[in-house]
Amino acid sequence: MVQKEDRRSAEEERREAWLAELSEFIVEANLQTWAAGGAEVIPERQGYKELKYERGDWRLRDSYTGYFRAPGMTTVYYKDQPAWTMAYGGAGMVEGQEHLSSETFNFLKSALKRVSPDLPYRGPEEFDGDEWQYRFELVDGDIEDFLGVEEIYRGGTVVFTQTVIGGLVLHRNQDKSLQKPWDL
């Protein structure tokens, strides 16, 4: 009985350490890609814009298409395996507010630079600047499986909104059993 508990405890420690490293890597990568004006790379999909960041066993690739409404997906690879993804999209620029897109996206970049390992999905829960406000609500879940909503207000009026959804990618190994990313 003790050995089983020790094994579970060691497994849980590996999992928690890996998730903490994942969160830190997402933050680090976000501070080097779109929000920071990072360089685009050759896209894997036609009609998309893509940015990439790598460190050691970790790699992030952010891919999106469009402008006023720009759905996309961020994928984190660990040891060359997709390990975590986040899709984002939805209304984007609210109809009738498109003339504010440049200012809105500059403000969004400012908010996204304030991402933290505690909430690594997009920006902070709240960020204010002059007449602009950014809000991110984690509706459900955690880094392993989540749903969130991001909104930008100007003078109290919503000008941009989108939904984010994501979590871990779980593969199967050669014997077709569960392959946990922290065990790669």
The residue extents of the domains of the chain are: 2-183
Q: pLDDT above 90 covers what percent of the chain? A: 93
pLDDT score at 9: 87
**Residue 66 DSSP SS3:** coil
End-to-end CA distance of the chain, in Å?
A: 26
**pLDDT at residue 175 above 70?**
yes
Eight-class DSSP state of 13: H
Distance CA 28, CA 78 (A): 15
pLDDT score at 123: 95
pLDDT score at 5: 59
Contacts of 90 (CB under 8 A, 6+ apart): 69, 71, 161, 162, 163
How confident is residue 4, by pLDDT bands cut at 50, 70 and 90? low
pTM for the whole thing?
A: 0.92
Provide the mean pLDDT of the chain. 95
Does residue 150 contact residue 144 with C-beta atoms inside 8 Å? Answer: no
